[in-house]
Chains A and B, each alone.
Chain A
Amino acid sequence: MPTSKHFPRSLLAILSLMFAIFAWQIIVRLSGLPRFILPAPYDVWMRLLKALADGSLLHHTSVTLIEILLGLFAGVGFATTLGYLLAKSPALEKILSPYLVASQAIPVIAIAPLLVIWLGNGILSKVVICALIVFFPVLVNTIVGVRATPPALYDLMRSLRATRWQILSKLELPASLPILFGGLRIGATLSVIGAIVGELVDAQEGLGFLLQLGDFQYDTSMVFVAIFTLITLALSLYGAVVLLERKFSK
């Protein structure tokens, strides 16, 4: 998007945010809806301050963040390992791909209750759900990325008697990094959804739990606070991946 010198992008973002809040306030005023259906920006702000002051927001956010990070690491770890093996072995891919594709036909939301029954309503079930939802896009991008390695560079590496490990670390990894990061960006966003889906099924803590608590108690301002925190979390995660990508790419 072209931006002029006089209007830096960050300023533009802040302005549009202010406009959205202003519009929200107008809608609340004009519609006259009760606070438990549509709270005003000011109500949400006060609720945020309260949740920050009593430490509840920080606690639930950190629980969800831990679930997300563990799930992300596990999902990315398994997906890249398996993806690499599948990329290197067409036979293995032929055997496994029907199962992998079929597994994608089942929405994670549908099996989330099962996982909570099997693994309990603690952190483990959320981590697993999170890992599952992250798994597929990272897997696919790993396979595509590794296969995108120019064949002539394999010849170069082999003519220099490179070991398998050197071929992986100095050729395949850097060659597939851009595509791998594409998968990681999708995975980072999905991981937030995974953790929340798990928490909404059954949980004692976390932002999903907070969301549901607010809902039960007609504390709609709290629901808004939880949603905005989730958005912030997802954006930060995405931003972290983008930063990481920038650091690694030339």
Chain B
Amino acid sequence: MPSKFALTVKNLSVVYPDNNGGLRALDDISFNVRHREFLCFLGPSGSGKTTLLRVLAGLLNPSNGQAHFHHQHPKIGMVFQQANLMAWRTVIENIKLPLELEGMDAARSRAKASEMIELVGLNGFEDALPRELSGGMAQRVAIARALIHDPDLLLLDEPFASLDALTRERMWNELSQIWQTTKKTVIMVTHSINESLFLADRVIVLTSRPGKIKIDVGVDLPRPRKEDIRYTPHFGKLARTLRETIK
């Protein structure tokens, strides 16, 4: 069933089993994602953001409702809160893992991994091991790994939450540029208003437990966005709207 949406989510609920009737993490969530849209979910911790991404990645079955993809078997690229690299693999070996799993031959997957290393600015670190990388570098490896197999959907779970403020803002810029060049459909989850406004085309705010959709706001800030966009009145207005909804 081809549609103009990359993803359609309908009446999605997730209930985790517990001792008294189950813990409702997500409650009746419905939304559409357009092709090549950058969508951000914003919500306090415990609002079911990770749960939502796990459902979309096929790691968790919803208790109710469904997620319908434009592609029947969508390829997923996922970046987790922690870089989640394989400690025994070098940077380039980590990045080419998705291609290995698809059965691509070594020479081609290495060449593609080199391109990705270029894209995320890790030249010279091809043969470094994860333990030799800073947090920001490790997360860049994770982003490269999530993009290398040309996924239909990129899922980002608070990818910069563990980084210091300066690194985090530098990563916003880089992710923004990467998204401009690769034009992927992205769903990112965050609890930072600035982060969501800097990156997204659209922000959906989730309520705290159980996660429900509170508002769905278009972010009509011009691209490419630079750091100083945060000091524009329009950014300020959007930020205020989001902050007041979250309260």
* With known contacts A152-B82, A250-B129, A161–B101 Cβ distance under 8 A: yes
The smallest beta-carbon distance between A99 and chain B, in angstroms, is 32
Q: Is B86 an interface residue (CB 8 A)?
A: yes
The smallest beta-carbon distance between A152 and chain B, in angstroms, is 5
Q: Is A160 an interface residue (CB 8 A)?
A: yes
Q: Is A162 an interface residue (CB 8 A)?
A: yes
Q: Is B76 an interface residue (CB 8 A)?
A: yes
Complex CA gap A136/B116 in Å reads 45
Complex CA gap A153/B58 in Å reads 15
| Contact residues in B for A175 (Cβ distance below 8 Å) | 86, 88
Q: Is A159 an interface residue (CB 8 A)?
A: yes
Q: Chain B interface mostly helix, strand, loop or mixed?
A: loop
Q: Is A243 an interface residue (CB 8 A)?
A: no
Query: Could you tell me how many residues of chain B have their Cβ less than 8 Å away from some Cβ of chain A?
Result: 22
Complex CA gap A160/B103 in Å reads 12
Q: Is B57 an interface residue (CB 8 A)?
A: yes
Complex CA gap A162/B97 in Å reads 10
Q: Are B58 and A159 in contact (CB under 8 A)?
A: yes
Interface range, A side: 10 to 19
8 A–B contacts, CB within 8 A, in A order = A155-B59, A158-B57, A159-B57, A159-B78, A160-B76, A160-B97, A161-B73, A174-B88
Complex CA gap A136/B97 in Å reads 34
Which B-chain residue is minimally distant from A150 (CB atoms)?
B84
Complex CA gap A174/B88 in Å reads 7
Q: Is B172 an interface residue (CB 8 A)?
A: no
- Contacting residue for A160 out of B80, B89, B90, B101, CB 8 A: B101
Q: Is B98 an interface residue (CB 8 A)?
A: yes
| Contact residues in B for A249 (Cβ distance below 8 Å) | 88
Complex CA gap A227/B59 in Å reads 57
Q: Are B80 and A155 in contact (CB under 8 A)?
A: yes
Q: Is B216 an interface residue (CB 8 A)?
A: no
Complex CA gap A17/B57 in Å reads 62
Complex CA gap A175/B88 in Å reads 8
